[in-house]
Amino acid sequence: MSQPYDLVVIGGGPGGYEAAIRGAQLGMKVACIEKRVHKGKPSLGGTCLNVGCIPSKALLDSSHRFEATQHDLAAHGISTGAVSIDIATMLSRKDKVVDQLTGGIAQLLKGNGVDWLQGTGKLLANKVVEFTPLDGSASQQLQAQNVILASGSVPINIPVAKVDEDRIVDSTGALEFAEVPKRLGVIGAGVIGLELGSVWRRLGSQVTVFEALDDFLPMLDKALAKESQKTLKKQGLDIQLGAKVSASQISDTGVTVTYTQGGAEKTAEFDRLIVCVGRKPYTEALLAEDAGIALTERGFVQVNDQCLTSVPGVYAIGDLVRGPMLAHKAMEEGVMAVERIHGQAVQVNYDTIIGVIYTHPEIAWVGLSEETAAAKGHEVKTGQFGFAVNGRALASGEAAGFVKFVADAKTDRLLGMHVIGPNAGDIVHQGMIALEFVSSVEDLQLMTFAHPTLSEVVHEAALSVDGRAIHAIQRKRK
């Protein structure tokens, strides 16, 4: 057995690589085991950097520029002539962004003295980790003082639409279409369905999204869900709610989808079909039977609030454990686990994890929705203000959407912030900071927001909780 490590991290995604770096910063001898090979090269960064957050955002940006160039520039007096897009160039730009970032993580690990072990890690009993190198050389056993499991998640497959990597793909395949499908079907109106559906719609596909549930984005505040459904529909996404796919048939010309909706069986024809019905924790070959790690019924590694598993000294983080499957949640859990190992009493605040859907406009939220706050017994008050009369939003032609605050009527304490509109994913951080500091609505009302900025809508929304927004005729006054 080799020299013992203070910390062995299995998985080099956002959760794992951040944990490894933080461990090294705290003086630990750290190994990070990552088995991913992306486009022929061993690669760090996990789902997020290789086939998730980053490549999807690169395509969202390219497709948005394509659509905006066609439709938004004329109003500024800019004429462009015929606009076309070269898909191969768009995909290779995306690949370059991924390469730059994954290469950067490798440099960071090296610079911090973390051993990146390229291959598969498996937890055995007594905090021994078996490492099987990618290059086919013999497995080694590593003794670890502490272990962090960070093996992430993989897409859920459904038997009614089996991925064949050609006509039927998952989110990874949908980042690689070599040409724009004329008719594109999407199963699942979740975050991936709406983001990747938007990409290909902007590039010219007719997109139909099938969602089994009757409600659209049920985790959102209802006002936000309603507005986003309206906006995406107006943009041309055909969202079919209460539509459960029961079969799919691939032919030479495409794929036929059978679904039931309102008790009736219907069919639809597509050139390509994306299956994005959720992701599941990835534990294949990760745990020896005698490793002692308990799993939940749904296959997640069981952890407490501090990400400690059923084995002392073994933590699990990110998509592998309960909670939202988000890169920033994985990252903060990784840092928390390492700092706990180091003896620091830190705790991730799970009440202030931000959600963002990167459609246009963006949809972002933090804290409680109006409905959840009421269900939790709060006497709720709310305030909402639109971007439509905001000078900066109008000047840049991005005046759709609103900011909504949810607060406790008795204490004035802020409970949640919900944004649909320009830069919502950035603007919502103001609400996160306010929630972290247990702010009242009055705190936000009393602050001075720069003019002309989009953030003035945040101020007006806080004022409108008490009927005091300046750029609106408000009936309730205080």
- Site stretch for ligand FAD (CB under 6 A), options 251-259, 320-328, 365-373, 432-440: 320-328
Q: Is 325 in the site for ligand FAD (CB under 6 A)?
A: yes
Place of tokens 């994985």: 330
In the list ligand NAD, ligand FAD, none, the entry touching 287 (Cβ below 5 to 8 angstroms by class) is none
User: What tokens does 50 get?
Assistant: 């290789």
**Alpha-carbon separation of residue 232 from 189, 198, 236, 254, 407 (angstroms):** 11, 8, 7, 25, 28
Which residues, 14 to 33, sit near ligand FAD by CB under 6 A?
14-16, 33
Size of the chain, expressed as the number of residues it contains: 478
Q: Is 63 in the site for ligand FAD (CB under 6 A)?
A: no
Q: Which of 328, 360, 378, 451 is catalytic?
A: 451
Query: Minimum distance between the CB of residue 265 and ligand NAD, rounded to whole angstroms?
Result: 14
Residue 327 binds ligand FAD, judged by CB under 6 A: yes
Q: Residue 323 Cβ, how far from ligand NAD at the closest point, in Å?
A: 10
For residue 447, the number of C-alpha atoms closer than 13 Å in the C-beta half-sphere is: 18
168 binds, among ligand NAD, ligand FAD, none (CB under 5 to 8 A by kind): none
Please choose, out of 12-20, 77-85, 216-224, 416-424, the segment that lies near ligand FAD by the rule CB under 6 A: 12-20
Q: 42 or 204, CB closer to ligand FAD? A: 42
Q: 231-270 mask for ligand FAD (x: CB under 6 A)? A: ----------------------------------------
Enter the tokens of residue 283. 């534990």
Owner of token pair 């799993």: 295
Helix (H), strand (E) at residue 209 = strand 206-210
Shortest spacing between CB 325 and ligand NAD, in angstroms:
4
Binding partner of 19, given ligand NAD, ligand FAD, none, CB within 5-8 angstroms per partner class: none
Q: Is 173 in the site for ligand FAD (CB under 6 A)?
A: no
In whole angstroms, how far apart are CA 68 and each of 60, 356, 454? 12, 21, 20
451 assigned to active site: yes
The C-alpha atoms of residue 331 and residue 348 are separated, in whole angstroms, by 10
**What residues contact 89, with CB distance under 8 A and at least 6 apart?**
none
Query: Which residues here bind ligand NAD, judged by CB under 6 A?
Result: 158, 187-193, 195, 210-213, 244-245, 276-279, 324-326, 356-358
Site string for ligand FAD, 113-142 (x = CB under 6 A): -------xx---------------------
Helix (H) or strand (E) holding 130: strand 128-133
Site string for ligand FAD, 329-368 (x = CB under 6 A): -x---------------------------x----------
188 vs 367, beta carbon nearer ligand FAD: 188
Concatenating the DSSP letter of every residue in 91-112 gives: HHHHHHHHHHHHHHHHHHHHHT
Q: Residue 122: which of 103, 96, 101, 144 has the closest Cα?
A: 144
Q: Cα–Cα distance between 143 and 5 in angstroms, integer?
A: 6
Angstrom distance (rounded) from CA 379 to CA 373: 8
Return left, alpha or beta for 362; rule: phi > 0 is left, psi -120 to 50 is alpha, else beta.
beta
What's the rounded Cα separation, in Å, for the pair 35 and 87?
Answer: 30
- Contact between 299 and 282 (Cβ < 8 Å): no
β-bridge mates for residue 122, sequence order:
130
The yes or no reply on residue 98 touching ligand FAD (CB under 6 A) is no
Which of 281/386 has CB closer to ligand FAD?
Answer: 281
The one of ligand FAD, ligand NAD, none whose footprint includes residue 422, by CB under 5 to 8 A per kind, is none
The residue ranges that bind ligand FAD (CB under 6 A) are: 10-16, 33-36, 46-48, 52-53, 56, 120-121, 150-153, 171, 192, 282, 285-286, 318-320, 325-328, 330, 358
> So which residues are the catalytic ones?
451
